[in-house]
Amino acid sequence: MSSNNKASKQAGRRLAVPGGSGPIPIDLGLQGGGSHGAFSWGVLDRLLEEDSLEIDAISGTSAGAMNAAALVAGYQQGGRDGARAALERFWSAVARAALMSPLKRGPLDILLGRWTMDSSPVFLMMDMMARLVSPYDINLAGSNPLTAVLAETIDFDRLRHARQRLYVTATNVRTGRGRVFRNAEVTPEVLLASACLPNMFQAVEIDDEPYWDGGYAGNPTITPLVRDGGAADDLLLIAINPVERPGTPRTATEIQNRLNEISFNATIIKEMRMIALLQQATGARGGEAAIGESARWASLRVHLISSPVMIELGYSSKLNAEWGFLTYLREEGRRTAAEFLAENRGNLGHRSSVDLNRLLEGV
C-alpha cells in the first residue's frame, strides 16, 4: 500500500471517530503564563468531568507544560479523578511554596482587592533588578523553587507509559529554535526549561544544550499534535495570554506586559494562519481529497477557550501564587469551560468554533 493511500485511510479513521457512539477524542493546547496557568487548571478540571470527551494528546509550554504533565501522570494512575487530583496537588504545592517567598501583594493591592503586585516593594525592586542584573550574578546556585514542587507532585515514570501523548516545548538558547520533548523525554529539568524566564533564572542544561522558556518558540506548539497522528481532529486551545488588548500601553509596566503577550502569542498565531491557509487551499481545489499530512491539517477543527478576566490581570499577577488567587482563577476556568461546552458542544466532532480566516486579514 502506498504512503498516500495509508495517509488517506488514516484520515478517514480519524474523521470517523466523532460520529461513533464513543467519546469525542480531543487534543489540548495549553499556554504558559505563570500563576495564570491556574485558569487552565480550572478548564481542565471541568473538561475531565465530561465523559463525552476523551483527551488524546496535550501540547503545553511553561505553566501549560506543568499542567499537562500533572494531568497525564495523574490520569495514568487514577483515570479522570486521578488527573483532577494530580492537578490540585500540583497547584496546592505551588501555593505552599509561595508562603516562604517575600514576593507578595503590597498593602495597597490588598486594600483595593487587586490580585496584582504592582505596589509591592519587593516586586518593584525585583522587576528593576531583572532589567539590570543577570540571574547568573544574583542566583549563583541556579536554584528554582519549582524544582521541589515538581518532584513532590508529578510521577515522571508514569509519563513514559501514559495513554495520552505529551509534548513540552522549550527554546534552545544557542539555535533560537524550539525543541519538543515527548512523554519518555519529559523530566523535571525539561519542565523547568519550558518555564525558564531568562531574566529570572539561569538557562536549564539538557543534553549539554541551554534552554529558555518555550513560549519564545511555541506557546504551545501545535505541529506535533497533527504530524504524529492520533484519533483527534478537534483541538481545544486554552489561551491565557490575550491576543488583543484595548487601548495603548503607556506605563513602563504596561508596555512590558504587552510586549510579552505579543511575543508569546506570535508563534501560535503563525501556526493558526498556516492551518487557515491549508484549509483554504484544500477547499479551493473543489473538494479534491487532500493526502498525507495536508489531509490531517485540513481536517483539524479548532476551538478556543479564553476569558476576558485575563485581560484585566497584569504581568505582576503572574507571579502571585496565593492560594486565594489560584482558586479564583480555577473557578473562572471552570466557569469558562462550562460556558464553552454549553455553546459549542454541537461543534465538537463536526466543525471549528473559531473563524481561522480572520487571522488572514491584513496578511
Cβ atoms of 172 and 178 within 8 Å: the answer is yes
CB-CB neighbours of 12 under 10 Å: 12
Q: How far apart are CA 189 and CA 106, in angstroms?
A: 32
CA-nearest of 169, 172, 211, 217 to 193 is: 211
- Would you state the pLDDT for residue 13? 34
pLDDT of residue 179: 97
Task: Answer whether 165's CB lies under 8 Å from 57's CB.
Answer: yes
Strands 234-238 and 301-305: parallel
pTM: 0.89
Q: Is 247 left (phi over 0), alpha (psi -120 to 50) or beta?
A: left
68 closest CA partner among 56, 59, 80, 78? 59
Sign of the dihedral through C-alpha 251, 254, 260, 261? negative
Nearest to 30 by CA among 21, 43, 18, 11: 43
pLDDT of 292: 67
Per-residue pLDDT of the chain (363 residues; tens, 9 = 90+): 333 333 333 333 333 344 456 899 999 999 999 999 999 999 999 999 999 999 999 999 999 999 999 999 999 999 999 999 999 999 999 999 999 888 889 888 888 889 988 888 888 888 888 778 888 887 755 678 899 999 999 999 999 999 999 999 999 999 999 999 999 999 999 999 999 999 889 999 999 999 999 999 999 999 999 888 888 999 999 999 888 888 898 888 788 888 888 888 888 888 888 888 888 777 655 445 555 677 788 889 999 999 999 998 988 899 999 999 999 999 999 999 999 999 999 999 999 999 888 767 655
Query: Cell digits for 112?
Result: 483595593
Query: Left, alpha or beta for 104 (phi > 0: left; psi -120 to 50: alpha)?
Result: beta
User: End-to-end CA distance of the chain, in Å?
Assistant: 40
